Amino acid sequence: MAIFDIIGPVMIGPSSSHTAGANRIGYMAALCYGSPFHSVEIKLYNSFASTGFGHGTDRAIVAGLLGFKMDDERIPHAFEIAKKRHLSYNFRKSYKRDHHPNEVRIVFNRGSNHSFLIRGVSIGAGKAKITQVQDDDVEFGGDHAILLLNYQDITGMIGFIGGVLGKYKVNVAYMKSSRNALIGTAMAMLKLDEECPQDAIEELKRHSDIHRVISIRKLNNEY
Amino acid sequence: MSIKEIPNRIRIRSTQDIRHYLKSYPFKGLTDFFMEYESRNRLLPKTEVYKRMQSTLIVMKESIAKGKAKVNRTPSGLINGGCHTFLNNMPNTIHLMGEWFNTVIANTLAVSELNACMGRIVATPTAGACGVMPGAFLTICDKFSIPEDKQIQSLFIAGGMGELIQINASLSGSQHGCQAEVGSASAITASAIVALFEVSLDKIENAAALAMSNLLGLVCDPVAGLVEFPCVHRNIVGSVNAIACAQMALAGLTSPIPFDEVVSAMKQIGDDLPASLKETSRGGLAITPTGLRIQRKVRDEDPEKAY
């Protein structure tokens, strides 16, 4: 937090957590998904479910998915714009104590057997975090550029990833890795000072044991 | 004391820390200190930091004009053209104080109502309290034809004071009640107003301490959970209080309790407040018979209530 979090952010009202934060989850989710999409299912939890309607939480999320930021005056018209752009969405509500008070689950659907799940929480003052991507537990806001990798749990993978990043002079600010022993995959979440260059991403993708690479730019100075 | 090079990372926890930095390093004053602070925290050059505050100020000014330009209404009916009615009726209404007093009320209403209607505002420090800074500070800037540069400088100081509240307590109604939102907004607005006329940390601190002290204990009990009532009208309390406290501080009145300690008191009171009075709509005005009736009406209108 700093001075522009006090005098700011510039945002569409009425609530920094229920409107701006919700918008940011939608915006980051679309960046994570990274390809065009035409159908999403959105589940609102707890406080988002009970007071979301009055706060425009639903429209703010759809606006974020359309790529509108929290200060975009198109947010109140997000539903109409989604219709024009052939984005279909539906909302569900859930009240569960073991979920964050301001949580959203977004599922991107393509065809009948492709779906992609992203979960995020709004943590106040217009800030938000993505907490889950598919089966991987993650945690990132917009303070750093992010690189998310999902790969086969075999030896030498972290060394390979580090080698590629080093070659492209990408500095790693933070790294977390974990594995899913049941299905033999692992994931790494890296926070970077600068966005990972496209060439490095391509090189990582070419490795046959790396299943998924998601790269997101740093957001916090955009608002 | 020898003047050292400004360190890469500036950390503040109290007004004492700010005094220490100002004494020990070659800052060109309070605004320069907070610009440097922001620049180093965000890894942005100072010129960019300045430009960003300039564009923020423009949005803040626009929010007054936009809020006044239309009749603001929300589906709940809690916001029902209040600012419009206020301005329309003013020619035939007795003016209890001077005209500028009414402008403070109208400008605060305009921005707070615009926020409730999904308009573009500057969350200063939160969306719920966004009417206070434009309503009080910008109205005074207008009254005294303050140059833009001076306005921007004062906003940095207000932001710095808010940063101390954020670090030592919070700015969130759900954590510490409305005292953390409108109370904080009023405190930083009072400091910004003082800074327009005298860049004295003592006076700035006194104005903020008095403004925050006056609003300690203010609860967050929004009807139907919406940022509408009493939020919008409480913004006016914040504006009027900010101007009164700035006026007192400029006239040399001091707060017996220093700002840092008032902020600690706000945190302690906020921690002690029951959850029913911290943005849950389970207490206060929200659970009056009329409050509950409005809540039922709002929920019934939700097209997705079936889920």
User: What is the Cα–Cα distance from A17 to A24, expressed in whole angstroms?
Assistant: 10
Low-confidence ranges of chain A (pLDDT < 70): 1, 221-223
The pLDDT, as a whole number, for residue B63 is: 98
Q: Any chain A CB within 8 A of the CB of B227?
A: yes
The pLDDT, as a whole number, for residue A143 is: 87
Q: Any chain B CB within 8 A of the CB of A215?
A: no
Give the SS3 label for residue A99. coil
Q: Taking CB atoms and an 8 Å limit, are B304 and A91 in contact across chains?
A: yes
DSSP A14: S
The pLDDT, as a whole number, for residue B305 is: 56
Q: Is B217 left (phi over 0), alpha (psi -120 to 50) or beta?
A: left
The pLDDT, as a whole number, for residue A102 is: 93
Give the SS3 label for residue A148. strand
Helix axes B259-272, B148-168, angle to 10 degrees: 50
E-assigned strand segments in chain A = 10-12, 39-45, 88-94, 103-110, 114-124, 127-133, 136-140, 145-152, 172-180, 185-192, 210-216
Identify all chain B residues contacting A220, using CB atoms and an 8 Å cutoff.
42
The pLDDT, as a whole number, for residue B303 is: 67
The pLDDT, as a whole number, for residue B1 is: 47
The pLDDT, as a whole number, for residue B307 is: 41
Q: Taking CB atoms and an 8 Å limit, are A14 and B123 in contact across chains?
A: no
Q: Taking CB atoms and an 8 Å limit, are B126 and A16 in contact across chains?
A: yes
B residues 79-98 closer than 8 Å to A (CB): none
Domains (range + CATH), chain A:
13-134 (3.30.1330.90), 145-216 (3.30.70.260)
B residues 231-270 closer than 8 Å to A (CB): none
User: What is the Cα–Cα distance from B185 to B267, expressed in whole angstroms?
Assistant: 15
Reading chain B (307 residues) residue by residue, the pLDDT tens digits are 455 788 888 999 999 999 999 999 999 999 999 999 999 988 889 999 999 999 999 999 999 999 999 999 999 999 999 999 999 999 999 999 999 999 999 999 999 999 999 999 999 999 999 999 999 999 999 999 999 999 999 999 999 999 999 999 999 998 999 999 999 999 999 999 999 999 999 999 999 999 999 999 999 999 999 999 999 999 999 999 999 999 999 999 999 999 999 999 999 999 999 999 998 889 999 999 999 999 999 888 776 654 4
B208, B195 in Cβ contact below 8 A? no
Residue with tokens 């299912």: A41
Give residue-wise pLDDT tens across range A28-78: 999 999 999 999 999 999 989 988 888 999 999 999 999 999 999 999 999
Q: Taking CB atoms and an 8 Å limit, are B56 and A8 in contact across chains?
A: yes
User: What is the Cα–Cα distance from B201 to B216, expressed in whole angstroms?
Assistant: 22
The pLDDT, as a whole number, for residue A221 is: 63
